[in-house]
Amino acid sequence: MNSMERINSAIDYVEAHITEEIDFQQVARRAYCSAYHFQRMFSYITDISISEYIRRRRLTLAAFDLREGGEKVIDVAAKYRYKSPEAFSRAFKSMHGIMPTLARNPGTSLKAYPKLSFHMSMDGDSEISYRIMQKPAFEVCGIKTDIIVDSERTNAQITKFWDDNIGSGAVAQFHRDIRLDYNTPLNAALFNYSPRMFSYMICYDSPSSNVPPGYFVLPVPSLTWAVFFTDKHAGSETTRVVRRLRERIFLEWFPTSGYTQAEGPEFEMFSQDKGIFCVEVWIPITKADRY
């Protein structure tokens, strides 16, 4: 079974148990990985969390039940595991734009989020450049925000965070405060993952002296890292290039590597020469168990 078949098997499990309490350990086993790794992989590939995918699928099927089956709102709410009809109605309106009692009306417009199915796309990519390395504990500091995991907003939030801090002079001030040459690119840390949100930080190694006040400090434990390298590219291409590399890491590299993702922060380390960029993606890893 290849990596795509494993992920599709996990999605099939979700669909088969969509009206039950989903056991993420069981979902992950069908993808031959840990629950932590599966949730990170899923969000990278789809730009939404697995819990958000399940929410959208339940509300899609709930709309079918109300329109075609004529079921009562209270019964549909319970079927799709909402604690009350009121909570279900709020979620239903958030997705469909109407209250569930109106879903039966002829001509009413509803939204459908289809079941996902993954297929391998061969687009000319060749080898993935990487190295495995041990690194002792270290510390970074910088400017932090929280990012909502959402297919329409995640990348836009990150881009805006960089633009706002560059435009306001905060990035330049950070360079001065930690005595870093302004031409030295800063890095990014991604951490504190939850199903709907993660923390993102514009950062650099903490200075040997005390970190200036006002900056967030992230201690990083001693870990084993897989470090991946993008091809050289123009700065305007960085988001697309890094996203494509991350997709390949989770769909192609991890399933055949003998490793799985360990809990810990991830980093994007930027370097540039005369406007040409290269990015290192650092992901903490551990030897994979057999699931």
Provide the pLDDT for residue 252.
82
Residue from 96, 21, 23 nearest 56 by CA: 96
Domains in the chain, start-ordered, CATH in brackets?
Answer: 3-102 (1.10.10.60), 130-287 (3.20.80.10)
Residue tagged 């040459």 (tokens) = 181
Residue from 282, 268, 284, 280 nearest 229 by CA: 280
Residue from 228, 193, 224, 250 nearest 33 by CA: 250
Task: Pull the structure tokens for residue 77.
Answer: 């709410």
Residue from 187, 143, 189, 159 nearest 284 by CA: 189
**Residue-wise pLDDT tens for the chain (291 aa)?**
566 788 889 999 999 999 999 999 999 888 888 888 888 888 877 878 899 999 999 999 999 999 887 789 999 999 999 999 999 999 999 999 999 999 888 878 899 999 988 765 545 456 889 999 999 999 999 999 999 887 667 888 999 999 999 999 999 999 999 999 988 999 999 999 887 889 999 999 999 888 999 999 999 999 999 999 998 999 889 888 998 898 889 888 888 888 889 999 999 999 988 889 999 999 999 988 755
d(CA 242, CA 252): 15
Would you give the end-to-end CA distance of the chain in angstroms?
A: 14
One-letter identity of residue 175: H
57-72 tens-digit pLDDT: 999 999 999 988 778 9
> What is the DSSP code (8-state) at residue 249?
I
Residue from 71, 119, 64, 118 nearest 96 by CA: 64
Residue from 272, 265, 280 nearest 40 by CA: 265
Provide the pLDDT for residue 5.
82
129-178 tens-digit pLDDT: 999 999 999 999 999 999 988 766 788 899 999 999 999 999 999 999 99
Phi and psi, residue 224, nearest 5°: -95, 135
Provide the pLDDT for residue 105.
87
Provide the pLDDT for residue 17.
96
> What is the DSSP code (8-state) at residue 251?
I
Task: Pull the structure tokens for residue 65.
Answer: 């039940």
d(CA 236, CA 233): 8
| Contact present, 283 and 226 (Cβ < 8 Å) | yes
Provide the pLDDT for residue 19.
96
One-letter identity of residue 253: W
pTM, two decimals, is 0.77
| Contact present, 267 and 205 (Cβ < 8 Å) | no
